[in-house]
Amino acid sequence: MQATSIFEPVQERLQDVGESLKGMAADRFPYLATLLDHIFATPGKRVRPALTLLASNFHDHDERITHAMATAVELLHIATLIHDDTVDDSDLRRGRATVSNLWGGNAAVLVGDYLFAASATFVCDTVDVRVIKRFAETIMKLSAGELQEMSVSFSPDQSMEMYLDRIYNKTASLFTTAGESGALLSGASDADVRALKDYSCNLGMAFQIVDDILDIDGTEEEIGKPVGNDLLHGIITLPTLLAMRRHPQSTLISDFFRNKEDTSLLQEAISLIRDASVIEEAYQVAKEYSSKSLEALSTIPANPSRDALEELVGYVTIRRT
């Protein structure tokens, strides 16, 4: 199953979002235009703007407003990826060279800033100060989540609560804002806004948990980066937490954190975590979130967009990329 086929009810509008993004390179000075062309050349999965557009599809409304919001949401996501790749010193993103790889970390920091700001100008076109402020607060959460992750990297002493709080900040917060703002800006009732917000938040949690599972359980080809990349960077995610809980006597993870260069320790740690029953347990946690996501949808009127949102939950949980 492809995300693109799920997004059928908003396919054209997602293409318009892509066009708005590509249009940003026009009239910029050559260096910036080159950077922007590279950045917008490969379309992502577009899950977040699809969420905004699908969540807006339950009420007639001025579609220019939700177009602006969906564009803002995708642009914000792209800006965060550029800074994340810079911070992680990643050379590749979905098999393509990153901005920091091609133009250096400094250009990546500045063009990321530029895109953060550009996303804010799009959100201003919604002319809804509540939504604009929520958007700015979401940027704070995204960077706080990354800072939380960095502050405990290579520290083996972490709790499930810390992990869940962090993935809410770094991922689910933007999913929440994407879905909630789509509902709000289309004029949905308070109850529907709440339901679509809950749906999106739980979807975002499931999405990040599956991401964290794939990091250890996927193949390098599927995930486009080395298997165990999180652990290599000292980041403890759900599968690692569950493996540590299962093997309370094992010092493998903390041994590796103390000897970061020891690749055989890393491989042993990966094997410990990659255990089928650990992975199964991690998927169970993801499924608890996706069930909550589906439950939240139950009060929303049935239409093709609700069907798509339902399918999206399934896709997020079984995807391999």
Nearer to its own copies, 111 or 231 (CB): 111
Nearer to its own copies, 86 or 181 (CB): 86
CB distance 163 to 237 below 8 Å:
yes
Check binding of 62 to its own copies (CB under 8 A): no
List the interface residues with its own copies, window 208-267 (CB under 8 A).
none
Among 136, 160, 191, 318, binds its own copies (CB under 8 A): 136
Nearer to its own copies, 208 or 290 (CB): 208
Distance CA 287, CA 241 (A): 17
Query: For residue 170, how many C-alpha atoms fall within 13 Å in the half-sphere facing its CB?
Result: 21
Check binding of 191 to its own copies (CB under 8 A): no
Distance CA 288, CA 172 (A): 15
Q: Terminus-to-terminus CA distance in the chain, angstroms?
A: 11
Distance CA 204, CA 168 (A): 8
Among 51, 68, 69, 111, binds its own copies (CB under 8 A): 111
Exposure string of 162-201, with b = 16+ CB inside 10 Å and e = fewer, is: ebbebbbbbbbbbbbbbbbbbbbbbebeeebbebbbbbbb
User: Length of the chain, please?
Assistant: 321
The kind and range of the H/E element at 93 are: strand 92-93
In the complex, the smallest distance separating the C-beta of residue 14 from its own copies, rounded to whole angstroms, is: 23
Among 1, 2, 15, 31, binds its own copies (CB under 8 A): 31
Check binding of 143 to its own copies (CB under 8 A): yes
Check binding of 140 to its own copies (CB under 8 A): yes
* Candidate ranges 118-126, 175-183, 200-208, 216-224; the one touching its own copies (CB under 8 A): 118-126
Distance CA 288, CA 48 (A): 21
Q: How many helices (H) and strands (E) does the chain have?
A: 18, 2
Backbone angles phi, psi at 2, to 5 degrees: -105, 145
Among 20, 56, 66, 86, binds its own copies (CB under 8 A): 86
In the complex, the smallest distance separating the C-beta of residue 308 from its own copies, rounded to whole angstroms, is: 30
**Tokens representing residue 202 in the block:** 């739980």
List the interface residues with its own copies, window 146-185 (CB under 8 A).
146-148, 150-151
Distance CA 304, CA 232 (A): 42
In the complex, the smallest distance separating the C-beta of residue 124 from its own copies, rounded to whole angstroms, is: 4
In the complex, the smallest distance separating the C-beta of residue 31 from its own copies, rounded to whole angstroms, is: 4
In the complex, the smallest distance separating the C-beta of residue 231 from its own copies, rounded to whole angstroms, is: 18
Check binding of 127 to its own copies (CB under 8 A): yes
Distance CA 296, CA 77 (A): 24
Check binding of 132 to its own copies (CB under 8 A): yes
Binding site for its own copies (CB under 8 A): 28-32, 35, 83, 86-87, 105-107, 109-114, 116-118, 120-121, 124-125, 127, 129, 132-133, 136-140, 142-144, 146-148, 150-151
